[in-house]
Structure 1
């Protein structure tokens, strides 16, 4: 038994050494938008698209921050009222008048959701269709719960223009105030970066593609090139689906050119973190965070039972085995097992600490990663169970059990 336990621990330790040393430096939290220089010689036309469903409570803060962007170029906001029941449209109009920006805000009454579309993407599609009359150079896709730093749009546009990018996206700082938010939200970002290392996403020669839906700037030409939002109309993880479509288009276009030199300004995306723009969406309890994760966890695994089993086994091996080995090693008096387990635990704490520091949480939360991972493992399993029961993908009063059934 000692040999088996030690073997599992050595395997876990080897995986952590590989993750820290060779997995895109995902843990370093060094891809941040705020380092971008915002000086531009030309000012592209930008239209923001904001899908809003029952967001009246947040709009006085979030919409105000969007309308008060310091971007000096042409900028209009298209808010799509997705059949709200809380007077979202009236609140939005009131915000615009209160800050003397009524001409900059365009409110669209959302039409009935057609078959084959997710609610958010149908709202985005309607916003893009309305905004197209301004012939924008870029669409700024953002959520109604995002409080934007005044310079957020200027930095996004500057990043796109200066580096000749098709799409720029930032994972805004998620709310991290309650105990459960401090325990689980930084880990959500950590796991996302491990799944999609930002350095790999930002490398045009690496196929990894991802984005964060709260703040996406996409070139109109790039969106048209992939066929518009409708190409991902069924996606529940729409941000990553959009990023994949944009980045893969480069590969397809290059193959069509018989392997000639890379085509400029196609398929180039960038994803980073923001220290200043943040989400106001509260997750005050374990239940709210649980539902947020469960909504798309099994979708991320392509609804595959085999991938689910592999993920559960991987989470146990990587995050739980080190702690179990420390406990068993102490109980059995086998210090080789205990010390090897402790080394693995310290290594994962080292990897997680930059994210904990980014979110200004206590160091003790970094040591709690095994317990946090155990909760996320249970969430992933629950996501699959809900899917099999026909209750998957619930959001804003709508349930999307399976993209094939949308």
Structure 2
């Protein structure tokens, strides 16, 4: 156990020192001096399926964007049964603001996820009607402050970026949201360090699908969304396709973009993570086993060694476990501050990690039961390379 605890401590020393400073939360929208000489036209594409619960908050924030150039919102109603499309039209008629077009693509053909089929339809319609230079791909549960589109476009134009993505600030109100949501973003940043993503020559690529501003020319060059049409984790796949085609991408934490989707209980949060966790592991039993062992070593061994070693009087074991636990908790504090949460949630991170471990295993179990990546009435199996 002492050797295992030592390995866990070594892993945390390496993570904190060499994993792209993933624990820092200072990667924010690139600064821009002044304003572009010409504000480019932007088309905002919003795929929506049964989003009546949240569209009343998110859509008005898009219609109210204070953008100096031309902008048009395209809401793609992906077979909603709750009146999402009709509600969107009513909101636009009542509130005014940016012009809104509501359209529907019909059911996705074989080999497409519903969201990406809706995005493809929205992009094609935007090209036919606006010829926009930029596309803002944003989810139906994402609310934007009035200057969000302006800031995104100015940052992309001034810094020569082909894609700018922001990790929307997720809702943190209930006890379960406080326990799980900041950790979700922390684990994502650990897996995809933002600083590595933002280096042009780095192979690391990821995006946050809730808020992606992308040049129309980059969409063409990367052949998206067609090239990623089967991807359940479409934001990461999109970023990889754009970077592989030579595009410059950027990802950071948001200050002006917020998710309004509630996850009040553990069940909703569990489904949010488990529906795509095994897809993230490429449906590989080997990667699943490695992930379970890795999570156990890095997150569970330190507190077990610290508490068990102290109880047994094995002080070298306790010291190694406590040191690793302290590094873990310390690296989590910046994310808790970003979300305005109390410091004492930091040492509880091993418990949260154990929940994520359970979600990951459950994701694999659901996959082999034929209920893998299920979302709003659709289930997506492992991608078929023949499609």
Taking structure 2 as the reference length, the TM-score comes to 0.97
1:198 equivalent among 194, 197, 200: 194
Preserved contact between residue 30 and residue 155 of structure 2 (Cα < 8 Å): no
Q: Which residue of 1 aligns with 2:84?
A: 88
Give the CA deviation at 1:38: 6.2
Matched, 1:113 2:108: yes
Matched, 1:333 2:313: yes
Partners in 1 of 2:107 and 2:174 — Cα distance?
37
RMSD value, Cα: 1.3
Q: Which residue of 2 aligns with 1:228?
A: 224
Residue-by-residue CA offset, 1:304-327 (whole Å, 9 max, x unaligned) = 111111100000000011111012
Residue-by-residue CA offset, 1:320-376 (whole Å, 9 max, x unaligned) = 111110122112101111111111101000100000110011111111111110110
Partners in 2 of 1:321 and 1:235 — Cα distance?
34
Q: Which residue of 1 aligns with 2:322?
A: 342
Partners in 1 of 2:243 and 2:313 — Cα distance?
53
Q: Which residue of 1 aligns with 2:143?
A: 147
Superposed, 1:96-175 pairs within 5 Å as 96-101=92-97, 104-133=99-128, 134-175=130-171
1:314 equivalent among 283, 294, 297: 294
- What SS does the corresponding residue of 1:367 show, helix, strand or coil? coil
Q: Which residue of 1 aligns with 2:335?
A: 355
- What SS does the corresponding residue of 1:356 show, helix, strand or coil? helix
Matched, 1:289 2:273: no
Q: Which residue of 2 aligns with 1:180?
A: 176
- What SS does the corresponding residue of 2:272 show, helix, strand or coil? helix
Preserved contact between residue 224 and residue 241 of structure 2 (Cα < 8 Å): no
Q: Which runs of 4+ in 1 moved over 3 A?
A: 34-38
Residue-by-residue CA offset, 1:38-68 (whole Å, 9 max, x unaligned) = 6222111100000111112222211000011
- What SS does the corresponding residue of 2:52 show, helix, strand or coil? coil
Preserved contact between residue 321 and residue 341 of structure 1 (Cα < 8 Å): yes
Quickly say closer, same or farther: Cα 1:193–1:318, change in 2 above 3 A: same
- What SS does the corresponding residue of 2:96 show, helix, strand or coil? coil
Partners in 1 of 2:280 and 2:185 — Cα distance?
15
- What SS does the corresponding residue of 1:282 show, helix, strand or coil? coil
Partners in 2 of 1:45 and 1:276 — Cα distance?
21
- What SS does the corresponding residue of 2:257 show, helix, strand or coil? strand
Q: Which residue of 1 aligns with 2:20?
A: 24
- What SS does the corresponding residue of 1:80 show, helix, strand or coil? strand
Unaligned 5+ segments in structure 2 are none
Residue-by-residue CA offset, 1:77-131 (whole Å, 9 max, x unaligned) = 0001111111111110111111223x71011023122111000000001101110
Unaligned 5+ segments in structure 1 are 251-266
Matched, 1:271 2:267: no
Give the CA deviation at 1:37: 4.8
